[in-house]
Amino acid sequence: MNFKFWVEMMSETAAPKIQDRVREGLNRASSLVKEKDVSGAIEELEAALLNARSSPYEVEFATRVQLALTLADLYLSVDERERARLMLVEEAAFADKIVEITRLTGSAAQKRSAAGFRVQVRDRATQVALIGKQAPEISVKEWLMGEPVTLQDLRGRVVLLEFWATWCKPCGEMFPKLKRLDEEHRAHGLEIIALTRHYFAQRNEASSVEEEFNLMRAMITQHELKFRVGVAEDERLQATYGATGLPTLVLIDRRGIVRDAGPGGGDDRRFNELLLNCLEEDFN
């Protein structure tokens, strides 16, 4: 295969027949979801993915990533978690190949684009793999709000982790929603923990670290947050939870089992139903 030719084709000139077929499948699936025909939408996307995999270098990478993420969400909506996990594992492996191709022959912009799309697939695969399993313990370097705590300490309460950053606009928009959830459900057993890390501060430069801490504290003050806010040591906690993209929410039930993990919204119907179900469950 001519890697140079494919890298150019991937970003702008993917073969129209296969590319158009996959796009049409995505569009039909979207219409079927609106008609509440989730099974039909899944069939459309499975057929589109089969087309994409049959001619893997004739579909734009961005389109294939959109296809995989949409199909994963639909699988989860009908409790087909294992199908979602296996599909995403395969797509993450394909994404690794694309990044390697662009590393060899792509432009700087193509390398950045491919790496970004790979992160989306990889993170979603990590998130889906966590659902139904014991939540990995969190490691926090410094607590900016609330007393130090571990997930083990919170067994018996419903925990909502939110990964955020000071520069992330959607994260700022998320805080009022989290504040509302905290006010409504804390008494019923909800424990919210907002987790961030240093992004701008240079290591071993105390002044830079403190400047970033001040930005974090300013966000807490601005939004009048009352729930726990912690700063992780580095990016490892985000990697563990597939939370490179921000904001990311992780819902953990009273037994410490991850019930949901994914891009933050905090107000969609599926998330609200899962949260209420977790709050209503007894801890045994």
Give residue limits of the domains in the chain. Answer: 3-130, 142-280
| Cβ atoms of 137 and 150 closer than 8 Å | yes
Cβ–Cβ < 8 Å for 59, 21:
no
Q: How far apart are CA 52 and CA 61, in angstroms?
A: 10
- Parallel, antiparallel or unpaired: strands 258-263 and 190-196: unpaired
A 10 A CB-CB count for 125 gives 24
Degrees (nearest 5) of the Cα angle 183, 188, 192? 55
Rounded Cα–Cα distance for residues 53 and 40 (Å): 20
Residue showing tokens 């179900």: 277
Residue 190 CA to residue 182 CA, distance in Å, equals: 7
pLDDT digits (tens, 9 = 90+) for 97-139: 999 999 998 999 999 999 999 999 999 999 999 999 999 999 9
- CATH label, 3-130, candidates 2.60.120, 1.25.40, 1.10.287, 1.10.1760: 1.25.40
Residue 161 structure tokens: 């982790």
Calculate mean pLDDT across residues 203-212. Answer: 77
Q: What is the DSSP string of 84-105?
A: HHHHHHHHHHHHHHHHHHHHHH
pLDDT, position 6: 47
Could you report the per-residue pLDDT of 41-100, keeping only the tens digit for each?
A: 999 999 999 999 999 999 999 999 999 999 999 999 999 999 999 999 999 999 999 999
- Specify whether domain 142-280 bears CATH 3.40.50.720: no
Q: What is the pTM of this model?
A: 0.91
User: Binning pLDDT at 50, 70 and 90, where does residue 268 land?
Assistant: confident
At residue 86's C-alpha, the angle toward residues 83 and 87, to 5°, is 80
pLDDT score, position 190:
98
Percent of the chain at pLDDT above 70? 91
> What's the burial of 145, exposed, middle or buried (CB within 10 Å: 0-12/13-18/19+)?
middle
| Spatial contact of 252 and 137, defined as CB atoms under 8 Å apart | no
